């Protein structure tokens, strides 16, 4: 069974950037799960889902609710149909990583049965990878979906604000309330932290692992739609993520 990593935090802190650079560091063909409704992960990895004809989980759930799709699948049991559609339509595959996007939301309607089935299917898919990295939304909505109930590590990306610090406690509370188990919860500062605010973070929590450094090349890559996997090994942002992952006990496979 592979390791499952969740990256969370408030919106705009750099969660998606961290996921992309963590995937670059690991270099072990991870499964990336975009659970953020903004769906920015594909863009930072240089992928155009529409062009690649890759659909979201929300897309296939909507079609099932409305009775749309291939009529030849109608005779399939729901479990088999969902597993087929996820692998055929929702799983983006490349030589460096694979990716699934949940979509804007799991559409309104009676979805208890398909949602429960999808949780087991996504977990089944994830277990065939050495690493699964989940890019989660700032509002923690994904935790209520309980895509995974067992997580190895949670990385909380922070900006220097009181709201960001409150988000740490919210994450702990929600995971406890809905029965999600994890081994470690690590704190990561984004590039906006200065020496004083970073020192404060170090003092309040022993699981602080470091700061993601500012990187002008990262901004240029993002602006031009280039994959962050192409950043150089000595990129300040990548070097800092590499140090963070090393401190957390993750070894590169590249």
Q: Render pLDDT for 128-158 as a digit per residue (tens, 0 to 9).
A: 999 999 998 765 555 556 677 788 999 999 9
Question: Is 253 part of a structural domain of the chain?
Answer: no
> What backbone torsions phi and psi does residue 86 show, to the nearest 5 degrees?
-60, -50
Question: Is 252 part of a structural domain of the chain?
Answer: no
- CA distances 41 to 30, 31, 71, 103, 151, Å, are 14, 12, 32, 12, 20
pLDDT tens, 50-69? 999 999 888 888 888 777 77
Question: Is 28 part of a structural domain of the chain?
Answer: yes
Measured CA to CA, the distance from residue 244 to residue 12 in angstroms comes to: 19
Q: For residue 246, give both structure tokens.
A: 């090393």
Question: Is 195 part of a structural domain of the chain?
Answer: yes
Q: What's the whole-model pTM score?
A: 0.91
Closest CA to 31 of 21, 39, 41, 23: 23
Q: Which of 150-154, 178-182, 236-240 has the lowest mean pLDDT?
A: 178-182
Question: Is 173 part of a structural domain of the chain?
Answer: yes
Whether 251 shows a pLDDT value over 90: the answer reads: no
Domain that holds residue 159: 3-247
Question: Is 35 part of a structural domain of the chain?
Answer: yes
Measured CA to CA, the distance from residue 163 to residue 112 in angstroms comes to: 33
CATH label of the domain that carries residue 147? 3.40.50.300
Question: Is 254 part of a structural domain of the chain?
Answer: no
Number of domains in the chain: 1
Measured CA to CA, the distance from residue 99 to residue 132 in angstroms comes to: 9
Measured CA to CA, the distance from residue 235 to residue 215 in angstroms comes to: 7
Helix (H, G, I), strand (E, B) or coil at 187: strand
Helix (H, G, I), strand (E, B) or coil at 189: strand
Question: Is 76 part of a structural domain of the chain?
Answer: yes
């Amino acid at each position: 069974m592979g390791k499952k990593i969740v990256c969370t935090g408030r919106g705009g802190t750099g969660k998606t950037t961290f996921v992309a650079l963590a995937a670059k560091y690991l270099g072990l063909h991870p499964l990336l799960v975009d659970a953020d409704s903004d769906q920015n992960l594909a863009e930072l990895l240089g992928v155009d889902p529409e062009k690649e004809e890759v659909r979201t989980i929300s897309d296939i759930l909507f079609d099932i609710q409305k009775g749309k799709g291939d009529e030849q699948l109608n005779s399939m049991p729901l479990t088999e149909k969902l597993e087929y559609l996820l692998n055929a339509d929702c799983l983006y595959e490349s030589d460096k990583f694979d990716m699934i996007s949940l979509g804007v939301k799991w559409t309104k309607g009676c979805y208890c049965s398909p949602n429960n089935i999808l949780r087991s299917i996504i977990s089944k898919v994830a277990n065939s990878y050495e690493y699964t990295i989940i890019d989660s939304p700032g509002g923690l909505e994904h935790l209520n979906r309980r895509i995974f109930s067992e997580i190895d590590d949670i990385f909380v990306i922070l900006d220097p604000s009181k709201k960001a610090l409150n988000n740490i406690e919210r994450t702990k509370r929600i995971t406890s309330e809905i029965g999600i188990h994890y081994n470690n919860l690590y704190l990561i500062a984004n590039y906006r932290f200065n020496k004083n605010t970073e020192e404060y973070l170090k003092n309040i929590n022993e699981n602080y692992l470091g700061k993601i450094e500012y990187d002008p090349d990262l901004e240029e890559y993002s602006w031009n739609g280039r994959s962050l996997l192409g950043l150089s090994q000595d990129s300040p942002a990548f070097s800092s993520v590499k140090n963070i992952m090393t401190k957390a006990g993750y070894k590169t496979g590249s």
